Amino acid sequence: MQVPERFSNLPEYAFPRLRALLDHHAPGGPVVAMTIGEPRHEMPPFVAEVLQANTHLFAKYPVNEGIPELLDAISAWLARRYGVSVPHAQIMALNGTREGLFNAALALCPERKNGARPVILAPNPFYQVYAVAALAVGAEPVYAPATAATGYLPDYTALAPEVLDRVAIAYVCSPSNPQGAVADAAYWRSLLALAEKHDFRIFADECYSEIYRASPPPGALEVAAQMGADPERVLSFHSLSKRSNLPGLRSGFVAGGPDSIRRIRQLRAYAGAPLPEPLQHVAATTWGDEKHVDRSRALYQQKYALADRVFSHVPGYKGPDGGFFLWLPVPDGEEAALKLWQQTGIRVLPGAYLAREQDGFNPGKGFIRVAMVTPIDEIQDALIRLRDCLYR
pLDDT of 3: 78
What is the distance in angstroms between the CA of the first residue and the CA of the last residue of the chain?
54
76 contact partners, CB below 8 Å, separation of at least 6: 287, 288
Contact predicate 276/118, CB 8 Å: no
pLDDT tens track for 266-322: 999 998 889 999 999 999 999 999 999 999 999 999 999 999 999 999 999 999 999
pLDDT of 53: 98
For range 120-139, the mean pLDDT:
96
DSSP, collapsed to helix, strand or coil, labels residue 238 as strand
pLDDT tens track for 50-60: 999 999 999 99
pLDDT of 1: 86
**Res. 359 pLDDT band, cuts 50 70 90:** confident
Percent of the chain clearing pLDDT 90 (strictly above): 94
Q: Checking DSSP bridges between strand 119-124 and strand 167-173, what pairing results, if any?
A: parallel
As a whole number of angstroms, the distance between CA 120 and CA 203 comes to 10
**Residue 21 burial class via C-beta count within 10 angstroms: exposed 0-12, middle 13-18, buried 19 and up:** middle
Count Cβ neighbours within 10 Å for each residue of 229-258 and write b for 16 or more, e otherwise.
bebebbbbbbbbbbbbbbbebbbbbbbbbe
The sign of the CA dihedral 323, 348, 128, 169 is positive
203 contact partners, CB below 8 Å, separation of at least 6: 101, 104, 105, 169, 170, 171, 172, 235, 237
**Res. 11 pLDDT band, cuts 50 70 90:** confident
For range 145-161, the mean pLDDT:
97
Of 159, 223, 153, the residue nearest 192 (C-alpha): 223
Using CA atoms in the order 186, 192, 197, 200, what is the torsion angle rounded to 10 degrees? 150
**Res. 4 pLDDT band, cuts 50 70 90:** confident
Contact predicate 205/183, CB 8 Å: no
Using CA atoms in the order 79, 238, 247, 356, what is the torsion angle rounded to 10 degrees? -160
pLDDT of 243: 98
| pLDDT above 90 for 326 | yes
Percent of the chain clearing pLDDT 70 (strictly above): 100
**Res. 27 pLDDT band, cuts 50 70 90:** very high
Q: In what order do the strands lie in the sheet with 325-329?
A: 325-329, 367-371, 349-350
pLDDT tens track for 63-90: 999 999 999 999 999 999 999 999 999 9
User: H/E/C letters for each residue in 127-144?
Assistant: CCHHHHHHHHCCCEEEEE
**Res. 2 pLDDT band, cuts 50 70 90:** confident
**Res. 8 pLDDT band, cuts 50 70 90:** confident
As a whole number of angstroms, the distance between CA 84 and CA 67 comes to 21
What mean pLDDT value characterizes the chain? Answer: 96
Of 317, 323, 310, 328, the residue nearest 369 (C-alpha): 328
pLDDT of 14: 93
pLDDT of 205: 98
